[in-house]
A and B are shown apart, each in its own frame.
Chain A
Amino acid sequence: MTADAAATSATRMPLAAKPGEASTGRSKRSRFGPLALIGGRILAAVPVLFGVSLLTFVALNVLPGNAAQQLLGADATPEQIARFEAELDLDRPAVERYLSWLGHVLTGDLGHSLASRQPVAGLVAERLPVTLELVAFAFALALALALPAALLSARRPHGAVDRLTRIAGMAALSVPNYVLALVLVLIFSVNLRLFPSIGFVPIDEGFWRNVKSLTLPGTAIALPLFGFYCRFLRNDLLEQLETEAYIVAAKARGVRSWRILVLHALRNSAFGLLTIVALNFGTLISGTVIIEQIFALPGLGRLLLQAVLTRDVVVVQALVLLLASFTIAANLCADLLYAVLDPRVRHGHR
């Protein structure tokens, strides 16, 4: 599916179903307010998270090798591996290990890394802020670029700006982000020396240094998002402008075109964008794996990759569970924002 087609179909979804019930069909529940919505979503999340953890465990156990083999390397003897497997409890039956892990998770204990024996919660706490900041930066940058570009494009469809943003958007979507990352480093680090090529500076060590350290990795993630959001929003805005009666009414009242675009059409188009952003959030955190690796950022993506490479099942399961929770939470936030943006949702009217 092309970006435009995807954008168009995603746009129509919330409009057809009416905002607020695009993905869930919760028109009845909305009468009971946001608390019921949150409660319902949390209940629905339990089997999803259970399924995700089970699938992850099965997948990691089906793959050849285990943490003992990966950690000891290619020159370990079978005896050394067997001894280490026993030390790591990997000689216990898989079902027993999974149930034991699940029991601990239910009591809030994510377990200890097989590789480092450090508490997984501590590892996550150490890495999570980096990834969250990176993703937030990328989203902010993508939206900051996409919103004005989409508005300008929608104002004069097929005009020069529209053509330029279409080319830029397609280019940003077409180039894989790891290639984009290397090109950005080549230009802005190697040649212009404007931004660091690797590493992360925490915000408490200086705001601008922090921003500089996130600029290139954030841009490498943001540019493809920009391409997608820009096309999506532009198409949605055009559809609103060309087909919706309230736009015609506003025009008839003599409302200025910019005002119609920003205050009327954009507000309605925001539903679709919000859905896309929420859906992107979970996948984007997983998508930081390559970028964090290239820019040597100590985030969750890097931790996940390292854990997969060492078959550190405990860490992988905890991270997958966390990422799934983020995705669910992001979708929930989107639904709650619908209520904020649309009084019909807030008051339970259809």
Chain B
Amino acid sequence: MRTRCRISPVVMAAALLPALYGCSRPGQDAGASSASASGNELTVLLDAGYAGAWPGGLDPATSTTGRANLTLMNAVFGGLFQLTADADGSNARVAGVLARDYEVRDDGRTLVIHLRDGVRFTDGTPFDAEAVKFNIERDLTSPCTCAPTAWPWRREEPVTIPDPHTVVLHFTRPYGAVVNALPATNVNWIVSPTALAQIGEAQFRITPVGAGPFRIVSNQLSSKLVLERNPTYWQQGRPYLDKLVFQSIGGEQAAMQVLQAGDAQVYEGMTSTPLIEHAMQDAGLAVTQQPPTSPYVVQLNTAHPPFDDKRAREAIYYATDVEAIRTGLFRGWYPVSQSFTGPGGLFHHGTVPGYRGYDPARARAIVAELGGLHITLGTLRSFVAEQVTTALQSQWREAGIDVSIETHDFAVLIREFQVGKWDAMLQTAGSYDPEASGGVSFRFRSDQPFTGVHDPKLDALLLDAAASFDTHERDGLYLQAAHYISDNAYGPFLFAFASTQVFARDVSGPGLSTKIPAILVNTGIWWQDVRIAAR
């Protein structure tokens, strides 16, 4: 009896040893323990807190999370347009998918979209201008922030269809970002009007019908979406995959283990620095860091003390050591930004002349001159933002600034802006096109709800830039706006953050193994072109 008892733990330890040994050496023999795709099926993991949450379903007109669910939407609906780029992320441009091409007329007041010929929805009905018009008009009634209701649509007949393959959008004034912003709006995703009428709106939220590369097999909201190849997809030989499964998962640590166990092959938008490094060391995994478009900015509330005083704002600029945060927390992966653009986006300029850099002595002197500076720094709850606010707090304290940190949920953040008593907020300000939703206007224009700046001159610059279709003119105006923001110390920019794709080495495709800038937060993967290498 005694002997048996002594053996038990030994046997247990012997059984667990190989496993534990494997755990302690992640880099070695990792090929044997990491994700690889099986057959022609792919399982994609999505963060349950963002891209992996689709509580309202996937109907573009009724979902309220379409922008976060960009990847699901593109897989099911294909999209009229998608952002593409060369393999290294350069030469980014909006390209037609279900639309053949587009032209801008009437000095930017009219956008003509030419549709592809012979495209059909997966229910067999034709994908034509009538369907697109029906969709756009329906989508504009959506409460989703992804509905482009703020575009300057013509009141009467905003959409016309001169022929079955042409759709014309009419605006009251030019809107320069219309094409660049379109791939992240719900009007980009076209559903079958016939299927909608047949199924009914309630069920259509769960199993919408599109003309994209995949069709829905099953949809468990915010949990699991199972798709199969659309055999009638317009592009010959596409998609390559037979089956595509999107699985929502809570936590990046758990996601990494699932990839290493081989139960999934892709994780979209990883943010944790240690886990990205871990993936880089794993021979079975590949990592693509996408070109950043959205810089972090410390918004300062200029309507409210202490930041109604320019000196207090300057102190924040001088007290902020961006390089230390960038290298200390993020291994130097994300480039420093001095304005509202990132290297992956349009109209990017790496530096802004006269930008106030790190100068703790000057920061301390200003704080002393002000007789002290007590502020609250808020942010939206997220791994990266919370790390950055902690770093800022420590840097600013060294300059004599007394900083309290508040981390908010959506609702509290919204209320803070509504009440208007906040001091400073760490946010992102950017998108592929600076004017597109979540871009510079969103954070700096007086008429926007989430701004801390109320300056008519800056408003005019941003409005002029948004109204122009002339690339050179827009570039000049945004450079002026960046200058103006810097000169007035309206908010220090930190670094341009980008999400990271982690995936099995035998998987490849645009936006996954190649670089495409994020149109807003996530990169749009071209699922029709994703393939698994023959093994």
A interface residues, Cβ below 8 angstroms from B: 64-66, 68-78, 80-81, 83-84, 87, 113, 115-118, 126, 159-161, 164, 181-182, 185-193, 196-199, 293-294, 296, 298, 302, 305-306, 309-312
Q: Is B210 an interface residue (CB 8 A)?
A: no
Alpha-carbon gap, A293 to B254, bound state (A): 9
Whether A74 contacts B413 by the Cβ 8 Å rule is yes
The listed residue (B56, B224, B437) touching A298 by CB distance below 8 A is B224
| Residues on the A chain within 8 Å of B1, using CB | 160
Residue with the highest number of chain A CB atoms closer than 10 Å, among B62, B222, B253: B222
Subset of 30 A-B contacts with CB under 8 Å:
A66-B411, A70-B411, A71-B56, A72-B145, A74-B413, A75-B442, A75-B450, A77-B449, A78-B418, A84-B64, A115-B64, A115-B221, A116-B55, A116-B206, A118-B205, A118-B206, A160-B6, A164-B8, A187-B16, A189-B263, A190-B22, A191-B18, A191-B33, A192-B19, A198-B247, A198-B254, A298-B223, A306-B55, A310-B53, A312-B55
Residues B425-456 near A (CB distance < 8 A): 437-438, 442, 449-450
Whether B380 contacts A185 by the Cβ 8 Å rule is no
Whether B18 contacts A296 by the Cβ 8 Å rule is no
Whether A117 contacts B202 by the Cβ 8 Å rule is yes
Q: Report the minimal beta-carbon distance from B26 to chain A, rounded to whole angstroms.
A: 10
| Residues on the A chain within 8 Å of B262, using CB | 193
Whether B143 contacts A83 by the Cβ 8 Å rule is yes
| Residues on the A chain within 8 Å of B53, using CB | 306, 309-310
Whether A294 contacts B251 by the Cβ 8 Å rule is yes
Whether A71 contacts B18 by the Cβ 8 Å rule is no
Q: Is B392 an interface residue (CB 8 A)?
A: no
| Residues on the B chain within 8 Å of A197, using CB | 254, 257-258, 261, 263
Q: Is B315 an interface residue (CB 8 A)?
A: no
Whether B247 contacts A185 by the Cβ 8 Å rule is no
Q: Report the minimal beta-carbon distance from B217 to chain A, rounded to whole angstroms.
A: 14
Closest chain A residue to B256, Cβ basis:
A190
Alpha-carbon gap, A53 to B451, bound state (A): 39
| Residues on the A chain within 8 Å of B248, using CB | 296
Q: Is B383 an interface residue (CB 8 A)?
A: no
Q: Is B220 an interface residue (CB 8 A)?
A: yes
Alpha-carbon gap, A253 to B278, bound state (A): 66
Q: Is B260 an interface residue (CB 8 A)?
A: yes
| Residues on the A chain within 8 Å of B18, using CB | 191-192
Mask for B16-60, Cβ within 8 A of A = 1, else 0?
A: 101110110000000001000000000000001100010111000
| Residues on the B chain within 8 Å of A294, using CB | 250-251, 254
Mask for B66-89, Cβ within 8 A of A = 1, else 0?
A: 011000000000000000000000
Alpha-carbon gap, A309 to B410, bound state (A): 10
Alpha-carbon gap, A195 to B359, bound state (A): 55
| Residues on the A chain within 8 Å of B23, using CB | 186-187, 190-191
B interface residues, Cβ below 8 angstroms from A: 1-2, 5-6, 8-9, 16, 18-20, 22-23, 33, 48-49, 53, 55-57, 62, 64-65, 67-68, 143-145, 202, 205-206, 220-224, 247-251, 253-254, 257-258, 260-264, 380, 409-415, 418, 437-438, 442, 449-450
Whether A198 contacts B263 by the Cβ 8 Å rule is yes
Taking A75-B442, A164-B5, A185-B258 as given, write out 19 further A-B residue pairs in contact, using a Cβ cutoff of 8 Å, ordered by the A residue number: A64-B409, A64-B412, A65-B415, A70-B410, A71-B65, A73-B68, A73-B145, A74-B413, A80-B143, A81-B414, A161-B5, A187-B19, A189-B261, A190-B33, A190-B260, A198-B258, A294-B251, A309-B49, A310-B55
Chain A residues touching B, majority SS: helix
| Residues on the B chain within 8 Å of A164, using CB | 5, 8-9
Alpha-carbon gap, A312 to B23, bound state (A): 40
Residue with the highest number of chain B CB atoms closer than 10 Å, among A118, A188, A190: A190
Alpha-carbon gap, A246 to B409, bound state (A): 61
Closest chain A residue to B23, Cβ basis:
A186
Contacts A191-B19, A191-B23, A294-B254: A74 and B410 contacting too (C-beta < 8 A)? yes
Q: Report the minimal beta-carbon distance from A109 to chain B, rounded to whole angstroms.
A: 15
The listed residue (A65, A73, A181, A293) touching B65 by CB distance below 8 A is A73
Whether A115 contacts B55 by the Cβ 8 Å rule is yes
Whether A199 contacts B57 by the Cβ 8 Å rule is no
Alpha-carbon gap, A318 to B68, bound state (A): 27
Alpha-carbon gap, A70 to B412, bound state (A): 10
Alpha-carbon gap, A68 to B414, bound state (A): 12
| Residues on the B chain within 8 Å of A159, using CB | 5
Closest chain A residue to B223, Cβ basis:
A298
| Residues on the B chain within 8 Å of A81, using CB | 414
Alpha-carbon gap, A164 to B2, bound state (A): 12
| Residues on the A chain within 8 Å of B409, using CB | 64-65, 70
The listed residue (B5, B16, B19) touching A160 by CB distance below 8 A is B5
Whether B410 contacts A73 by the Cβ 8 Å rule is yes
Q: Report the minimal beta-carbon distance from B369 to chain A, rounded to whole angstroms.
A: 35
Whether B254 contacts A185 by the Cβ 8 Å rule is yes
Closest chain B residue to A299, Cβ basis:
B223
| Residues on the A chain within 8 Å of B438, using CB | 75
Closest chain B residue to A293, Cβ basis:
B250
Q: Report the minimal beta-carbon distance from A212 to chain B, rounded to whole angstroms.
A: 12
Whether A199 contacts B251 by the Cβ 8 Å rule is no
Whether B251 contacts A293 by the Cβ 8 Å rule is yes
Q: Report the minimal beta-carbon distance from B284 to chain A, rounded to whole angstroms.
A: 11
Alpha-carbon gap, A17 to B265, bound state (A): 58
Closest chain B residue to A76, Cβ basis:
B145
Contacts A164-B5, A310-B55: A65 and B411 contacting too (C-beta < 8 A)? yes
The listed residue (A87, A182, A188) touching B143 by CB distance below 8 A is A87
Closest chain A residue to B380, Cβ basis:
A74
Alpha-carbon gap, A48 to B292, bound state (A): 54
Closest chain B residue to A66, Cβ basis:
B411
| Residues on the B chain within 8 Å of A71, using CB | 55-56, 64-65
Whether B263 contacts A73 by the Cβ 8 Å rule is no
Alpha-carbon gap, A75 to B427, bound state (A): 11
Q: Report the minimal beta-carbon distance from A236 to chain B, rounded to whole angstroms.
A: 23
Alpha-carbon gap, A134 to B144, bound state (A): 36
| Residues on the A chain within 8 Å of B414, using CB | 65, 69, 74, 76, 78, 81
Q: Report the minimal beta-carbon distance from A305 to chain B, rounded to whole angstroms.
A: 8
Alpha-carbon gap, A159 to B249, bound state (A): 44
